[in-house]
Amino acid sequence: MNDITMWAEVAAFVGGGLAMGFGAIGAAVGEGYAAASANAAISRNPEVSGEVFKTMLVGQAVAESAAIFALVVAMLLVFANVGENASWMTVTVFLSSGLCMGLGAIGSGVGSGFPAGAACEGTARQPAMGGRLVTNMLIGSAVCQTPAIFALVVSFILMFTNFSDRPVNPTWAAILGAGLASGLGAIGSGLGGGLVAQASCEGVARKPEAAGTLTNVMLLGQAVTQTTAIYGMLVSFILMFKAFDPAGTTLAPAMALLSAGICMGIGAIGPGVGEGFAAQSAVGWIARNENATAELTRTMLVGQAVAESTGIYALVVALVLIFVV
Amino acid sequence: MAIEGADIIKAAGLLGAGLSMGLGAIGPGVGEGMAAAKACEAIGRNPKEAGLLTRTMLVGQAVSESTGIYSLVIALLLLFVV
């Protein structure tokens, strides 16, 4: 066993640990929130405890999926077959795909817990709307899972792409940057999307007549919160598939690519959460005052557009780091 | 084989640019979202004042955007000037 093969084994184990360790945070918090809300709901209206229990389990199952993605990636890494032709890129591929999936599962896990909790409390409040609430919860939490799915896709592509014909020097950094861009970039969008879905489930229980409008505005608000995770995935794809010139032994070209991934990944968190706050409030107030739907939707979109701006700055800086510097 | 000092400085500048813009984007994103959330709440209570509320929201967001722009400026300085 040569030196690099040993480090590749080390990286596969560390990557697997990071994937499952980080990946377990979000789902556990989200499911705990759902269970807490289910208890609150049952104490308020014990007669529908069966319905609430069922809603809680369905909601928790969706939140769990982010952790299951992380488990799959961790298993693949732990049992990865490190060949004799491992290079330093193999080392970074294992670390990067583990980090990507682990970080990417945090936001979606927590976010999916919010609509599950709100659906449980809503079922206690309006037992007749139970079915509609579960539908609304499932639509909302499915959208929350998309950032985790982006992270899963990127970590699979990292693991199953053959990078061996690329120059080792800047490519190791591009691989690491790609994982961080999608992984960190998924946190904000997952959380933000969850806040919107929570408000929508609360709203359906508060005002069942407005259920259609609430679902539609929820989807609109969630779509905007997902944009920064999509920027993260875009940067990851560029980093994974662009052919970089060999950089010899210089450090700067590699650092530009790593920095692009970190910049887009961290830069996507704030706008994702902030846009979630805006849409949460808009959806919540549409349930209270349906006549103002047009004004609320417009203000939500304008406010989200402004909150998006720093995410766009981060995208611009990341693209400058990749293509210009 | 040795990495030269100038190369390390350049690499640090590039990494700093990414960190500056990445971390600097968190605060304005969250803060502007909160401003928009409160504007929506206020419009929900009093839809007649939607125009005034949206204007106030935009002014407030513009101010909270400033730190994001500072981060962008620092990032661009690190990339192209320093």
* A167-215 per-position pLDDT tens digit: 988 999 999 999 999 999 999 999 999 999 999 999 999 999 999 999 9
CB contact under 8 A, A300 and B40: yes
Q: Taking CB atoms and an 8 Å limit, are B28 and A321 in contact across chains? A: no
Contacts of A272 in chain B (CB under 8 A): 29
Distance between CA A156 and CA A282 in Å, rounded?
A: 37
B78 touches chain A (CB under 8 A): no
User: If you average pLDDT over residues B15-44, what whole number do you get?
Assistant: 96
Structural domain spans, chain B: 8-81
Domain count for chain A, please give it: 1
User: Across chain A, what does the average pLDDT equal?
Assistant: 95
Which of A277, A293, A298 is most worth mutating to test chain B (most B CB atoms within 10 A of its CB)?
Answer: A277
| Residue A87: per-residue pLDDT | 85
- In chain B, which ranges are continuous DSSP H helix? 5-24, 26-45, 50-76
The mean of the pLDDT values for chain B is: 93
Residues lower than pLDDT 70 in chain A: 1
What is the C-alpha to C-alpha distance for residues A71 and A25, in angstroms, rounded to an integer?
12
In this model, does residue B51 exceed pLDDT 80?
A: yes
B 34-63 residues inside an 8 A Cβ radius of A:
34-41, 43-45, 47, 50, 53-54, 57-58, 61-62
CATH for B8-81, options being 1.20.20.10, 3.40.50.300, 1.10.287.620, 3.40.50.970: 1.20.20.10
Is the C-alpha dihedral spanning A144, A173, A20, A26 positive or negative? negative
Judge whether A150 and A126 are in contact, CB under 8 Å.
no
Residues in chain A closer than 8 A to B17 (CB atoms): 259, 263, 317, 321
In the predicted structure, residue B1 carries a pLDDT above the cut 50 = no
Task: Provide the CATH number for the domain around residue A9.
Answer: 1.20.120.610
The C-alpha of B5 sits at a distance from chain A's nearest C-alpha, in angstroms, of 10
The reported pLDDT for the residue numbered A1 is: 59
Q: Which residues of A touch B55 (CB under 8 A)?
A: none
Structural domain boundaries, residue A173: 3-323
| pLDDT in the model for residue B2 | 60
- Among residues A83, A104, A78, the alpha carbon closest in space to that of A4 is found at A83
